[in-house]
Chains A and B, each alone.
Chain A
Amino acid sequence: MIWKGWMTALAGLATGAGVLLLLPEETLFTPVMPETAVAPSQTGERYACPMMDFIGTRPGDCPVCGMRMTKVTAGELTAEQQRRMGIELAKVTEGPATATVRAYGAVRYDERTLQVVTPRVAGRIVKRHPAALHAGELVAAGAPVVDLYSPEVFAAQAELAAAVKLADAHTIHALVERFMRWNLPAVGAAIIGGGTPVDTVTITSPYAGLIILPSEGAGMSAAKLPNVGQEVMADTPLLRVVEPRSFMISVHVPEARAHWLRLGQPVKLSSDDRGELPSVQATLAWLAPELDPAIRAREIHLHLRDPEGLLLAGSLVEARIAVALDADLRAADPSRTEPARFTLVPKAAVLSTGVRHVAWKVAGRRPDGSLTFALAPLALGPRLEDEAGNDVFIVRAGLQPGDEVAAQGAFLIDSQAQLAGTPSLLFPRGAAAPVHRH
């Protein structure tokens, strides 16, 4: 009895197994492609959990917390999202490109205006006139400088007086000539006019200007103001006179910037205490033909005109030399009126690794205020200042004038692109992995 039951069971099992083995599976069950057989999506789509920083490659529920994951898209932002991200747009402009070279220098008097007052006769100083009392005195042309006891002049006067007495025209002429050469025509004239010879003559300054005492090292040897009782030889410098409103600065420009310099480029000045000095006109007047090997810099001279007397010699000023760039990114000749125009993008809009630069530009605009951003890999030129003083980059490739780029919030757009696996700053072809994990 019992074996009967067992037999039935066994027979049933055998039949079942046979059916299962013999029939193709499609007839038994409708085959379905199991979830697992779906090839991993090659489109690079990403799905993110709204709660956790989990990013998956297929739609579904988050394996960590079970929330439904949403598709990550990059670059499409509604007005609300833009507000949250604090997106601000900036325009890519076109304009002349000016680089600025900065240099510091101490103002000194313009060497070119230096005049030296010398007595043409030897003698001993017996009196100093105001012009010879202090450095910094302004002297007019012809103003007395010192009185000189000069036996030589006295002798010449006596000789002249004798010649006048003798009416020796030849000698008179020669002596007047000598007084002329001595720069003392008045002394000669006085003798001819019947005066008696004096042993003291007044030396006058033939130039107007400012008396200076140049210090050592600035191109001249040390000098002193004349003293009473001092013997002076003929043609020894007594005073140095410069033009008071003409200055110069010699500055050094590093090697890296030196090739941007051209004679005649406009220069703006500012000083620590006075700030901007718009009234001072400065020009790049001289470029050293060689680099200073010790400091790898090129010396340049700027010449200044300071009509309002704002500057003092020795004051430290900062010079900003504006360099207009040519089409080939070399410094343009300032004499040319029209500088080249470049595509310029604000520095704030450029995300950069140092080598790779990108900007996110507006690719589409919808009436509801949403924007579509597209990645623009850039080839950049040098960093410059635009007319308003903002930092801009020259765009060599990647953007056109008139394009709008995200100036603020570009980092977040790029971050979203990283999440979405689309091209971004760090991953030029996208499809890279999510951000860091906590």
Chain B
Amino acid sequence: MIAAAIRNPLLTLAATLGLAIAGLWAWRHVPVDAIPDLSDNQVIVWAEWPGQSPQDMDLQVTSRLTRELQGLSGVRTVRGMSLYGASYLYVIFEERRDLYECRTRVLERLAQLQGVLPPGVTPRLGPDATAMGQVFAFTLQGPRDTETRRRVLDQVVTPALRAVPGVAEVAPAGGVVREYQIDVDPVRIEEQGLTLDMLMMAVQRAGRDTGAMSVERAGVETMIRATGFTRSVTDVENIVVRGDRTKGAGVRLGDIARVGVAGQFRQGLLADASQEQVGAIIGLRVHEDPRTVINAVKRRLLELGPALKAEQLAVIPFYDRSRLILETTETLSSTLREAVVTTVIVVVAFLLHFRASLAVAVSLPLGMLFTFLAMWACGVSANIMSLAGIAIAVGVMVDFGIIMTENITQHLVDLREKCRREGRAAPASPFDPEVTDTVIVAAREVARPLFTSAATTVIGFLPVFALQDQAGRLFAPLALTKTLAISGAVVSGVFVVPVLCRLLLPPWQMRRTLLFAAAGLAGGVAFGWFIRDGWSLPLNYGREVLTLPGWLFAPLFAALVSSTVWRLGRENVANYEENPASRAIHAAYEWAYVRILHHRVLFTVAIATLATGGYLVGLGWPVLREPLRAVFAAAGADLARTRLDHTMTRAFPGVGSSFLPPLDEGALLFMPSLPAGAGLAETQRVMTTQNRLIESVPEVASVLGKMGRAETALDPAPIGMIETVVQLKPYADWPVHDFPRDEGSVERRPRTLAEVRAALAAVSDIPGAAPSWLQPIETRVVMLSTGIRSLIALQVLGDDNDALERFAEAAERAIVGTPGATDVQMQREGGKPYAEIRLDPARLARFGLSKEQVMTAVESSLGGMAVAYSVEGALRYPIRIRYARERRDDDDELTQVRVPAAEGHGAIPLSSLLAAPVVHEIETADTAALLAALPLAAQRNLTILSSGRAELTLPAGENPPASPLGGVVFSVTGRRPSEAGFTHTIGPMAIRSEGGKRTQYVLLNARGRGEVEVVRDADARLRAALADGRLALPPGATYRWVGRYEQKIRADETMRWIVAVSMAVMVVLIYVGTGSWLITGIIVLCNATVTTAGGFFLVWWWGAEMTTAVAVGFIVLLGVMFNDGILLGTYIQEKFRTPPRDVAEVNQRVFEAGLRRRRPAIMTNATTLLSLIPVLWSTGRGSELMQPMVLPVVGGMLFDLVSLFSVPVFFTWYWERKLARTTLVETSPATNPAPSNQT
């Protein structure tokens, strides 16, 4: 096959070209995103039931749905969330199941559920989008009120955007949706002999549009249509409540109630620093290309421009992922480009042969285009991770071409020698059969080793696919593209490169005139290209630029280009071993080798120091001390109690670790938290104030806050939850600040991102609002993971919330003393006050009322049921009727709700029906002690009147605790019904459940000890407490340990396995390659340690954190670091087939082996290393995600130089000792031969 490819160069090249064009097309059409979608494979189900409390939502909707949906096949878990009037279920399916199939399944099940849910509650499927797919958000701005803007949004913008392909949903946020409100004063209508029911009936009968066929008059058909729909406030006011035809008079609604257009009850709002805004958030359908969709959305918005302009409105985006996507892909493309250029330069520098370099370089773009083609076919999006995979592979990709070209060159040189020996001219034409045969032989020779080598690299990297969950989703694209790129490169290296070598390497010469013209042209183009802009290298996030002036650079570059072209046309076959680069390498190597051989002990010590040093700074003392600690523990001492341990821990804390390196998204998401009790107005006040403060920071371009939720299933935020998107200006526009230096001078520079974040945090700090500064995508990632911020949490699952809370409280006390456990605290959701209407059955009986009558009255008079709908344009707005605000904004007014008794028998105020709480008057010596002794719920109900007197309000039917309570003696001196008729409790703002069970958490962090140990000890304490009865698990409850620690351990565990498996595979491969356990040992013990230590060094020096990305970098390193050792070892092993006679011969053989291998080794190392350098200096967005992956590789490859010496040195040492011993055994007194330096 190789032969066929080489013999038909045109066919091969045509096929290659075709593939390349297909790859180019795929490159243009591959979906582009910033980072891979990390969300679970989930289907969202949501149901709305307006006005219901979270508890009722949970009880009647969420838990019932959970029970039903949990049984579906493939469901991993169902997470539930019940908010005020809305219930959300996240049905999480197993990975790798088709989302649409899952949706169908859920839908099928939902269709059977009608009887299970309360009437009027319809569960719906959320959009086929994920929270990470919220890619674009905008506001409508202009001099119109929020209601108008919202109307325009709903009527004009949203329908238009929904039609854009790829848009899963358009979620309106903020503004007010119009509704007609009829405010009634109950006392007043009663005075007129009316009841609320009568008004509601009147509104319901208000009217509708109807058609009554048509009449034909003189051949003309006239349609008859009656218009009766409510269309305006006047229509509502004119609804007739009561009329008397005989008297000729009626009462209109407008006469007895206030009618107005107002906003519906709001779930959330948007506001910038000065005013409320109206906007929408675009959700991207899964597997769609965000860039295309965003552009389509923007185009559609542009088309809507004139329509909006007529309304004096304009679209202002406040979040736009496309900029980030553009910038990250820009960074990556330029990094890739730089990597390719660097690699080519390295190849040219080493081969010093342009034609060969050309042949080598071709496999790079070919491999990449092949990757893009495969990505397009697999539906993998081009994002930081997948492109980083290619970037990492670049240095390796080129190796196949190099080896192939080298071998072919070697054979051609041999052919030339042969011809010279035979006294004939060497064939110079590519079409000479002798040349073709030589090339085929040479290509066949290395084809198998190349495939093997590619296979080892790929196999070494395969374990990355074993990563699970987020890490898996994040790094799978990287592993995939790297694998693909290497496969593509090896295929092109084996099939295309020989063809190119056949065409390029024979020493054909181009005609001088033609060449001259070509060189001149190329030089001219190069000159023209560079004369204007010069050449610039952006530094430090593009804020500083290093620029070479064009007039200086262009002539140089033009000369370079034209001489290259000249050279290309007239190049001869050259033996690479003899070019100046090789000679230089040889000389340097020899110089170093001799000296190292002299100071072998020093070398060993240096290696050991480097290795331990690297691990110390990288992993840190707390990890490395474990064996020592075991020794101490065996000796009965505790290492942790020594000063040595402390000093070491302080000196070598290791680099920090986190899950994902933060991607600089160019925008921040500020999420201050207020206690659950916060109301809409207070939250809005806080949000607007903070927006104003944030806007005062000069680096901020725009700020827009959202509180509560947008109208989408993807945003289950209760009111009082603020999310503020802070867009930063482009770095170039950041103002210069003065920074006083220590010595008194002043440094003038723009602030760094970290400084700006700190400044924002400082400026927006409002006591009482707990801040959280993250970035938009980062936030989604964090929110996806667990929702629990602390590392460890004890999760208690059960049915009874109160019991769970009590258990958690007790568990907190049991755990708190665990060594190493800090910040132990039960997660108390502050809670919202609830005013519960509890009815007294005896009182109900007295008035002959049913509970339903009371509930209906409460619902209609306070909640305001939508009685009818108005029809305006495409939209319908509800008409609600309820008590006027001043009649329902205080408890004493609320209890006066009129419950209509039987027809014509008046109405009973609610206060006459309530089971009012009882106030117990208490006398005790020490009220403070009493307060402390009471449980929390009772504490909240204890009112202290004076130091000796207090009042305890308890719900009707509950008895006060018995007198000596926790050692406090008190007496109940009297009791009276509470003036507030309602029973006030503290309830949750949102109820989270997992698998249909309520959850409660005790959070803790581990400091100074490993998480696993802390969890183990805490668990032991918990078990002990459960065993001796200090703690009782509520019936039906279970507990388990969860948290980020779980993820971390799982990731660590997987990582450990991956590294172990990779290592094992590598060791086997090394042994297979070298056939010697000695060399395998040397390679693993010296090279592996030093190389990985080098990785750690660079990671530490760079100030990076140990993220999964760094770990992946280490795996990459693992794949490449053994290559040199293996090759060198193979050669050495070959040389030592026969045992050497003396030390001099050992040295001789080892050096010869090293001689053959060192240039290619240095060259492949150099390509790997230098191709990654552009990643390190790249500064644009997205580079911070790639750099950590590259750091271990670069550091490791730098240190890997050691392996060029370690194998020969230790191998020689071993043979010296062996020879010495044999001579010692054979000849009597030891004449230890001095290590020879003769080579």
Contacts and interface: CB of A to CB of B under 8 A. Distances in A.
Interface of A: 17, 20-21, 25, 28-37, 39-40, 48, 50-58, 60, 63-64, 66, 74, 77, 81, 84-86, 102-106, 251-252, 254-256, 292, 294-297, 316, 318, 352-357, 377-379, 382-383, 391, 396-398, 411-416, 418-419, 425-429, 432-438
B940 A355 contact: yes
Interface string B773-814: 110000100010001111100000000000000000000000
A434 B678 CA distance: 14
A355 B940 CA distance: 7
Contact of B771 (A50, A74, A355, A437): A50
A218 B978 CA distance: 39
B656 A66 contact: yes
A353 B940 contact: yes
B222 interface: no
A392 B551 CA distance: 81
Interface in B708-753: 717-718, 721
Contact of A397 (B682, B770, B944, B989): B944
A283 B567 CA distance: 117
Given A255-B911, A383-B892, A436 B830 contact: yes
Contacts of A354: 833, 835, 891, 980, 982, 984
Nearest to A75: B767
Given A51-B771, A106-B191, 11 more contacts: A25-B641, A29-B641, A36-B820, A55-B823, A256-B911, A294-B901, A379-B951, A411-B674, A415-B768, A435-B674, A436-B990
B673 A53 contact: yes
A29 B643 contact: yes
B822 interface: yes
Nearest to A52: B772
B643 A32 contact: yes
Given A40-B822, A379-B943, A411-B678, A296 B828 contact: no
A66, A254, A316, A419 — most chain B CB neighbours (10 Å): A254
Interface of B: 185, 187-188, 190-192, 635-638, 640-646, 656, 671-678, 682, 685-686, 689, 693, 717-718, 721, 757-758, 761-762, 765-774, 779, 783, 787-791, 816-817, 819-820, 822-831, 833, 835, 890-892, 895-896, 901, 905-909, 911-912, 917, 931-932, 936, 939-946, 951, 953, 978-980, 982, 984, 986, 989-990, 1003, 1005, 1007-1009
A435 B943 contact: no
A433 B827 contact: yes
| Secondary structure type dominating chain A contacts | mixed
B767 A256 contact: no
B943 A356 contact: yes
B1000 to A, nearest CB: 11
B675 A426 contact: yes
B766 A34 contact: no
A35, A48, A66, A437 — most chain B CB neighbours (10 Å) = A437
B728 to A, nearest CB: 16
Contact of A57 (B641, B644, B825): B825
Given A29-B644, A52-B773, A85-B766, A40 B678 contact: no
A48 B943 contact: no
A17 B635 contact: yes
Contact of A53 (B638, B686, B789): B789
A63 to B, nearest CB: 5
Contacts of A55: 770, 823, 825
Contact of B831 (A292, A355, A426): A426
B789 A58 contact: no
Contacts of B190: 104, 252, 295
A160 B1226 CA distance: 185
Contacts of B901: 294
Contacts of A252: 187, 190-191
Contacts of B945: 379, 396-397
A437 B789 contact: yes
Nearest to B766: A84
B137 to A, nearest CB: 18
A429 B941 CA distance: 12
Contacts of A438: 671, 673, 717, 721, 772, 779, 783, 787
B770 A48 contact: yes
A354 B830 CA distance: 15
Nearest to A37: B819
A32 B641 contact: yes
B986 A85 contact: no
B824 A40 contact: yes
Nearest to B722: A438
B934 to A, nearest CB: 9
A295 B636 contact: no
A254 B1007 contact: no
Nearest to A417: B768
A102 B187 contact: yes
Given A52-B773, A353-B940, A379-B951, A294 B905 contact: yes
Contacts of A418: 675, 830
Nearest to A294: B906
Given A53-B772, A355-B953, A382-B892, A437 B788 contact: yes
B250 to A, nearest CB: 16
Given A31-B642, A415-B675, A316 B191 contact: yes
A81 B673 contact: no
Contacts of B944: 377, 379, 397-398
B825 A25 contact: no
Nearest to A397: B945
Contacts of A357: 943
Given A50-B761, A353-B986, A379-B944, A434 B770 contact: yes
Contacts of B675: 414-415, 418, 426, 435-436
Nearest to B189: A104
B980 A355 contact: yes
24 contacts: A25-B637, A36-B1009, A40-B817, A48-B770, A51-B773, A52-B771, A53-B673, A53-B770, A57-B822, A63-B823, A85-B767, A103-B187, A104-B185, A255-B911, A256-B892, A292-B906, A296-B908, A377-B944, A378-B943, A379-B944, A398-B944, A426-B675, A433-B825, A436-B673
Nearest to A41: B822
Given A52-B772, A294-B905, A316-B191, A57 B823 contact: yes
A119 to B, nearest CB: 31
A414 B773 contact: no
A87 to B, nearest CB: 10
Contacts of A52: 771-774, 789
A332 to B, nearest CB: 19
A383 to B, nearest CB: 6
Nearest to A82: B767
A337 B718 CA distance: 53
B689 A84 contact: yes
A84 B763 CA distance: 10
Nearest to B1105: A66
A57 B989 CA distance: 25
A301 to B, nearest CB: 14
A316 B257 CA distance: 13
A412 B187 contact: no
Nearest to A411: B682
A39 B820 CA distance: 10
B822 A32 contact: no
Given A32-B641, A255-B911, A411-B682, A84 B825 contact: no
A415 B769 contact: yes
Contacts of B820: 36
A437 B827 contact: yes
B675 to A, nearest CB: 5
Contacts of B682: 411-412
Contacts of B718: 436
Nearest to A17: B635
B673 A437 contact: yes
Contacts of B817: 39-40
A52 to B, nearest CB: 5
Contact of B767 (A20, A39, A377, A413): A413
